[in-house]
Amino acid sequence: MESLRTEHPKIGQMRMAEQVAAALRDRILAGGIGDGSTLPKQDELVAEFGVSYPSVREALRILETEGFITVRRGNRGGATVHAPDVGTAGYALGLTLQSLQVGVVDLGAALATLEPLCARHCAGRADRGRAVVPPLEALLERSEQCLGDGAAFTRASREFHDTLVGFEPNATLRVVVTSLTSLWSVQEEAWADSQMSRGSYPSRKDRTAAQRAHEHLVASIARGDAEEAARIAGEHLTATQRWVCRTLRDRVIDAASPRSRARFRRS
């Protein structure tokens, strides 16, 4: 009986810490505490929740472990908030796929199914002429200027794809496909750098074909031709993925590299 009694304070402290963490987590997720802002000082949290300092410190540790905050120690310390975003979702999804040993080819197949759907939906947007087409046309101009440099062209092309799926009107689909597209971009950009160093990157003729496919895709979106937009997107993805998958067909998705982390921080 004595051993159980000695555990009660710890159990109570943990439960209080979890309740405080849950309350703060809910505020962050609801936007009540903005990304980049600082949580109230520990003194204020103790007073607000009526709990002990150990409970508050444990609550902050829970949130830090979950990635919601970064705690700085010292006189100028504090807890900086990191509200979850598309980059957070993409990184977590990528790590999950990597832990499951999912291959690059599998990722490409998922995108070949989902990205044409986003292109279809973009063509159906009533505001496509104002919100969708101009940014994509600006990216087309940029990628046209990169045709002479394979690695630069790949980066510009991937920005085009990342931007396109970002215009998906369905929020759930947008988060999922944007995450997958960003993850694929990491694989393709690493592939492009490797192929350039070996002198085996696709020819300028192949790059030009990809550029023209992007142009036709934007034109179909501008016309509101949803079926054509989906068809072009699907055919283009199949053609371009063939180059990457030929080299990376046995490769597991890489989501933990510095390149991956940097991209998801920018998402």
Q: How far apart are CA 182 and CA 118, in angstroms?
A: 15
- For residue 134, what pLDDT is reported? 98
> Which residues fall within 8 angstroms of residue 235, CB to CB, at 6 or more apart?
213
Q: How many CA atoms lie within 13 A of 58 on its CB side?
A: 16
- For residue 11, what pLDDT is reported? 53
The answer to whether residues 160 and 140 touch, using CB atoms and an 8 Å cutoff, is yes
> Which residues fall within 8 angstroms of residue 205, CB to CB, at 6 or more apart?
none
| Mean pLDDT in order along the chain per 10 residues (267 residues) | 44 80 94 91 94 94 90 79 86 93 96 97 98 98 95 95 97 95 92 90 94 98 98 96 92 88 75
Q: Is 11 exposed, middle or buried (0-12, 13-18, 19+ CB in 10 A)?
A: exposed
- For residue 258, what pLDDT is reported? 84
Closest CA to 193 of 247, 163, 131, 150: 150
Q: Which amino acid is at 68?
A: F
- For residue 10, what pLDDT is reported? 56
Instruction: Give me the phi and psi of 78, to 5 degrees please.
Output: 165, 180
Kindly state the helix (H) or strand (E) to which residue 81 belongs, with its residue range.
Answer: strand 78-81
- For residue 96, what pLDDT is reported? 95
Question: What structural domains and CATH numbers belong to the chain?
Answer: 2-81 (1.10.10.10), 86-266 (1.20.120.530)
